[in-house]
Structure 1
Amino acid sequence: MRILHILHQYLPEKVGGVELYTRTLARYQVEQGDEPVIFTPAAHNPHWSQPQLEDGVRVYRVPVGERAATAVFRSNFHHPTLVDAYKQVQQRERPHLVHLQHLMGLPWQLAQAITAPLVITLHDYWYLCANAQLITNYDNTICQGPKAWLNCARCALARAGRPQTLPLIPALAPLFGYRHWQLRRVWQQAHTLIAPSQFTANVHRQMGMAADKIEVIPHGIQVPTTLLARQPHEGLHIAYIGGLSWQKGVHLLIAAMNQLPHTGVRLSIFGDTAVFPDYVAQLRQQAAHPGIVFHGRLPHEQLWHALADIDLLVHPTLWYETSSLIIQEALAAKVPVLASRIGAIQERLCDGVDGFYFPPGDEQALLALLRRFINNPTLVEQLRSNIQPVTTLAQHVDMVTAVYNKAAQSPSD
């Protein structure tokens, strides 16, 4: 099957969860004998019409120049260059199926030009929220959905650095209503909407997305054939692995760590320090415990080595994450997890069996759990022995392929 993947940005220019997922899925599809093709915007690529062959995957990178956040937002409404480029690629490749990974920064006219059966993955909440995460820009709280689009306009002004321009809110609100209407047309044309968790599916259903189109398929991971042996060390080694942004809650973990004894416990923080430098500077200033070390971004090829040296992974997120590969990877490496009880994270652990939950944002509850591990050195091993196998990449791809086959065989509208 020839599958055309569409997404808003791609490696190596941009590195994120959707990009890594798409590359992993496409590579696996090559191994299965399929023909994956990728269509994506890029800053510069004068020879875009000649696809680059990467691990057997043809990648079309259409040049759009450097775009700030406002330009990316405007591109959803109108970008004829991307529409024309997509039509050329579609005509040349003649895909049997299109898998829309993300439409951010791409015009919805492009989606409306798709002629093959369409499958969409709901990697975040972008179809419901221009901020994609259901977190408000004006007070950093969870959003429960649009209220006559006025809160959406307020959120956009706050993100643009103009939180005081309140008189503009009523004028901007219809723009977000129009955005919702156009994106509704996009997902309505899809055969299936893949949600990586039941929580993600429920949020989209509650906000009006067609329940009969949504299918829950958990993400899978590539587990090494042989896991690395645990590295012996003294004391308790805690780790955070992921993005360094406010909504990830790393400041709560540091605050709890600062209250632990200065010996016998250490915290390794793995994450790109360049994406949100102001927040990282605050974290560095906050970190008073001598055992806290910032290691920078962890290359994926080094992940399993890092996990072999960790006793406990902490995931203190504050937002409605749709999934968490790092939790699955930690469990695959037999590393117990402490995580916020929020969003899809609630589906990833069996509380008290392979890890523990704590209320999101509750520094004292997290501190109490960490002290519990310090006071009971055998607790890590107890939890490790309870960890069950996680969903593998092969299992995930089998489920996605089944969706593809149903979509490809369904009668066209």
Structure 2
Amino acid sequence: MRIALYVHCFFPAHFYGTEAYALTLAKELIALGEEPVVITATLAGEPAQKRLIEERVYDGVRVISIDKNLFPNRSVRDTYEQPSLRNLHERLLRKIQPNVVHVCHLISHTTALLDVARAMGIPVFATLTDFFGFCYNNRLENAQGELCAGPDEARANCIACFLQLVGARPDAKPLTRLGADRRLRPFVAKGLARLGRREENPFSISGFEPNDIVVRPDILRRAMGVYCEAIAPTLFLKRAYEANAFPAPMHISHFGVEIDRSPKPARARGDSVRLGFIGQLFPHKGAHLLLDSLRASGRQNLSLQIWGPDDQDPAYYATLRQKAEGLPVRFQGTLPRQELAGALAGLDYLVIPSTWYENSPLVLLQALATHTPVIISDVLGMTEFVQDGRNGFHFSRGDVASLTAVLHKVADDPELAARLSAATSYDRAPADMAKDVLAMYRAHALGGVDAAEATAAPIETEGADQSGSNPAQLGVEGPLDSWLAYNEGALHIDSAEASHIAPFPPLALMTATSGLSRTEDFTRHGVDIMRALAAASPAPLASYRAWLDFGVGAGRVARLFKGYRGVYVGVDVDPHMVEWVRGNLPWVKALQTAPRQPLPFADQRFDAVVSISVFTHMNDEDHRFYLNELWRVTRPGAILMLTVHGDRAIQRASAESNILDLLCIPADALQGAGKALAEGDGFHFTRQSGHLTSSLYDYGVTFVNRRWIDAVWTKWFDIETIVPGAIHDFQDIVVARRR
């Protein structure tokens, strides 16, 4: 399965939490036989790429990078909704042809990516690593430095954060600085929020349109509605998104880390208590608090090493150096990944003094995995991993005195580090994380597509010139007529050629599905159906990228989709049918469903549905229930081709006794159906006494006409056409388009 992993920036220039997650996930997916590709960006202001799109391999992972220098943010809205990126995203996705888009961070790609993926019908998932989806500054920290719950109703608190940010810039104009003044900022923010409600001819001041911030949460929420499901690495993050009306299902999957988990080396008696800070050197990461607390502690047996780049915030870095003067502190620069385990092995405690809500930072998990106790600020997103006094300590966020008290505790009992280390561990590995991701895809009937078949070339369909290719190699992705003719002919040629077609179900399943007992007849039955579907479909069958076979049976249609490079999901209530399809047609994701229960898929999952001989056997209630379900799981504009018994079926059953015998209903029931279609509401159901009759649900024979379809189906679908007798001059095909 080809998986497009989107991340805002990436190695080697960027190497922190989200980037490390994307790299680790990609490598584990490769190890599990999948085909990930990372799509990232060179950020605006960084050295430009030679080309708009560049491709490379990093640590065995295919990476595609776009140059955001050519798409700079010209407004606040561009930071989250940048329509100029749409063509670029579509170009990339058509080149990559992924089965799945997985967003690790949206910020460089904006809602433009989600809009394009939705339009192309590509399933989209996400891993939520910060608060970008609803918080303007991504940190859930308000302009007063206090923790925040998210945007208020007027968005005034978000505008206050914007004022604080722009007011602190060195080139800020006097008016901007005035508006950002701590005393005036709340009043200015409320005024701008009121003015920002105007969407037509939006209010603007100094190039800033407050409407850009007012509408931000709603625009992101609508765009994120395309997510089939999302992963949250902490319970806190999940609850924060839920509290801010996240539009998709979420589940928790803790990050996995790969690091040397050897026991921590024994510390020499009399050594100093060794503290460490590893991370980005920005104010919200809190390194200044650690330095202030170290000085306030007055303990001579404490030492500190700080790893982090000196060029992220030069002014802040200079402040840190000044605070460290005269203290036992070493600035070690950026810590290479390959040296991380060794660095942690040499620490007694890692300190994470962040002033914002962290989300299980990888360095926290890596420290726990190396049996290194952790001292953390008491912010949610970290406290669920560290038990105070067992594998580390908590202190009050932003409180120098509280952190100083913890430093006193660890300095005054140097052997405490060894006792805590013995109780400190973290066992979750990257492979566990990747398996969770694949399980999430499988829950939405994705996964298992043969990467060798899913090439990166543009999709070729029946209209393309592939006359020189072997139909057995291309399958349904090649010229359809050739493929279907090959299936018919393969029954009468040597076994080597015949081996290229899909296997046949055992006799019992074949008969239960179709009433047929010979493979030749079963093949022709399926081929005839495929030809009828192709003739009725508005587009080539292989051009749809996510099919639902509703009532897959023993694969009468599904087996002829061999070679399909999209997603093909088959559902059925019969466990024996599902078991056989699952074990013999690997391009089909076969799932058993329960009668009269919702289908096990997220909303707007499929762009095409086929259902043969299913609605021909449902009562009125089930008819409506499953039409509603098919509407739910299909995307707007999706095509559905469903067969029904109409006037042609009644004509043939009335004239041909063998057809009536096949239906297993009495002659008077057929007469009643004819009357219902001619004079009644156009619907007639007779419970059947045949080979598929079940006590679990009403299984019978159903007849409908165009009048009833127009009255009922159009609640959910537009009726494109009805092809009378399309299936073996008996069943009609209703071609419907999802509204």
How do residues 357-376 of structure 1 correspond to structure 2 at under 5 angstroms?
Answer: 357-376=394-413
| Aligned-partner Cα distance in 2 for 1:329–1:72 | 36
Task: Give the alignment partner of residue 143 of structure 1, picking from 142, 148, 171.
Answer: 148
Equivalent in the alignment of 1:26: 26
Task: Give the alignment partner of residue 251 of structure 1, picking from 268, 277, 288.
Answer: 288
How do residues 327-366 of structure 1 correspond to structure 2 at under 5 angstroms?
Answer: 327-366=364-403
SS at match of 2:40: strand
Equivalent in the alignment of 1:120: 126
| Aligned-partner Cα distance in 2 for 1:267–1:68 | 40
- Contact 1:118–1:407 (CA under 8 A) maintained in structure 2: no
Using the TM superposition, give the Cα deviation of residue 111 of structure 1 relative to its aligned residue in structure 2, in angstroms: 1.0
Task: Give the alignment partner of residue 164 of structure 1, picking from 175, 178, 199.
Answer: 178
| Aligned-partner Cα distance in 1 for 2:272–2:9 | 42
| Aligned-partner Cα distance in 2 for 1:155–1:388 | 38
Task: Give the alignment partner of residue 103 of structure 1, picking from 91, 103, 106.
Answer: 106
Instruction: Flag the 1:274–1:224 CA change in 2: closer, same or farther, 3 A.
Output: same
- Contact 2:351–2:375 (CA under 8 A) maintained in structure 1: yes
Using the TM superposition, give the Cα deviation of residue 92 of structure 1 relative to its aligned residue in structure 2, in angstroms: 2.2
Using the TM superposition, give the Cα deviation of residue 158 of structure 1 relative to its aligned residue in structure 2, in angstroms: 2.4
Instruction: Flag the 1:208–1:30 CA change in 2: closer, same or farther, 3 A.
Output: same
- Contact 2:77–2:213 (CA under 8 A) maintained in structure 1: no
Equivalent in the alignment of 2:37: 37
Task: Give the alignment partner of residue 152 of structure 1, picking from 150, 153, 158.
Answer: 158
- Contact 1:73–1:104 (CA under 8 A) maintained in structure 2: no
Name the amino acid aligned to 2:26.
Answer: A
- Contact 1:38–1:57 (CA under 8 A) maintained in structure 2: yes
Task: Give the alignment partner of residue 77 of structure 1, picking from 81, 88, 91.
Answer: 81
Q: How many positions carry a matched residue from both structures?
A: 410
TM-superposition CA deviations, 1:147-176 (whole Å, max 9, x none): 211221232232122353436453344322
Aligned-residue CA RMSD (Å): 2.3
SS at match of 2:383: helix
- Contact 2:42–2:49 (CA under 8 A) maintained in structure 1: yes
> TM-score w.r.t. structure 1 length?
0.92
Task: Give the alignment partner of residue 87 of structure 1, picking from 63, 87, 90.
Answer: 90
> TM-score w.r.t. structure 2 length?
0.53
| Aligned-partner Cα distance in 1 for 2:286–2:246 | 29
Using the TM superposition, give the Cα deviation of residue 230 of structure 1 relative to its aligned residue in structure 2, in angstroms: 5.0
How do residues 206-245 of structure 1 correspond to structure 2 at under 5 angstroms?
Answer: 206-210=243-247, 213-224=249-260, 226=262, 229=265, 232=268, 234-245=271-282
Task: Give the alignment partner of residue 64 of structure 1, picking from 68, 71, 79.
Answer: 68
TM-superposition CA deviations, 1:69-105 (whole Å, max 9, x none): 766852533342x321221221222211110111113
| Aligned-partner Cα distance in 1 for 2:54–2:357 | 39
List runs of 5+ in structure 1 lacking aligned partners.
none
SS at match of 1:304: helix
Instruction: Flag the 1:276–1:181 CA change in 2: closer, same or farther, 3 A.
Output: same
SS at match of 1:60: strand
Instruction: Flag the 1:50–1:299 CA change in 2: closer, same or farther, 3 A.
Output: closer
| Aligned-partner Cα distance in 2 for 1:358–1:319 | 13
Using the TM superposition, give the Cα deviation of residue 318 of structure 1 relative to its aligned residue in structure 2, in angstroms: 1.0
Equivalent in the alignment of 1:129: 135
| Aligned-partner Cα distance in 2 for 1:308–1:186 | 44
- Contact 1:249–1:318 (CA under 8 A) maintained in structure 2: yes
- Contact 1:355–1:383 (CA under 8 A) maintained in structure 2: yes
> What is the aligned-residue identity percentage?
28
List runs of 5+ in structure 2 lacking aligned partners.
168-175, 180-187, 197-208, 447-600, 607-633, 635-739
Using the TM superposition, give the Cα deviation of residue 15 of structure 1 relative to its aligned residue in structure 2, in angstroms: 3.4
Using the TM superposition, give the Cα deviation of residue 302 of structure 1 relative to its aligned residue in structure 2, in angstroms: 1.0
Equivalent in the alignment of 1:3: 3
Using the TM superposition, give the Cα deviation of residue 66 of structure 1 relative to its aligned residue in structure 2, in angstroms: 6.8
Using the TM superposition, give the Cα deviation of residue 333 of structure 1 relative to its aligned residue in structure 2, in angstroms: 1.2
TM-superposition CA deviations, 1:276-314 (whole Å, max 9, x none): 111121122122443122212211111111111111111
Name the amino acid aligned to 1:215.
Answer: H
| Aligned-partner Cα distance in 1 for 2:264–2:387 | 24
SS at match of 2:281: coil
